[in-house]
Amino acid sequence: MVFGLFRGRKNSKLIGRLHREIIAAARDPVLFTDYGIPDTIDGRFESMVLHASLVLRRLNELPPPGPDIGQDLADAVFRHFDIALRDIGVSDTRVPKQMKAMAEAFFGRATAYHEALGNGVPALAQALSRNIYDGADDGERLAHYVMRLEAALASVTLAQILSGSIPFAKAAGQSEEVAK
């Protein structure tokens, strides 16, 4: 118990950097303009969940202290959700219920994406369509982006995460895809 308190403080700069990188990737305007993720509170939550779950998946695959860093990062993500709820005016009495719902959604989606990644683009597209687009888009284009991101993350080492940045794949805009 005492060691957990020190672990969080020791990693605070690293966790803060990783969290900021996930937020930046999840808020890439191309995801909302060209990929059609709804630019709403729910859409931003879905984008954050997608990006955070992929990074957490990679951290949990790495040798120690990768999983511990992943836990600290997950804690930071949920602290961010708590603060965001309060910032948008959710009352103190409703925050715990909202956080429970968000945690269930986060872990449900993370599990769905984890399983779908092992079954290829069609399965991933279906999971993305259901969770991010509420069935209004087939999710295939976003699935290709997620597969590129997963491949980039799969090659990163713990040392690279500790000393560098997360290799997020750039979301290709429509004009960039046409040029290819």
Report the C-alpha gap between 89 and 21 in whole angstroms: 26
pLDDT for res 161: 93
Radius of gyration from C-alpha coordinates of the chain:
16
Task: Please state the domain extents for the chain.
Answer: 2-171
Cβ proximity of 21 and 149 under 8 Å: no
Report pLDDT digits (tens) over 73-85.
999 999 999 999 9
Q: How sure is the predictor about 179, in pLDDT bands with cuts at 50, 70 and 90?
A: very low
Lowest mean pLDDT among 19-28, 129-138, 164-173: 164-173
Q: What is the mean pLDDT of residues 16-31?
A: 97
**pTM, rounded to two decimals:** 0.90
Q: How sure is the predictor about 9, in pLDDT bands with cuts at 50, 70 and 90?
A: low
113 contacts: CB under 8 Å, gap ≥ 6: 50, 53, 54, 57, 124, 127, 128, 146
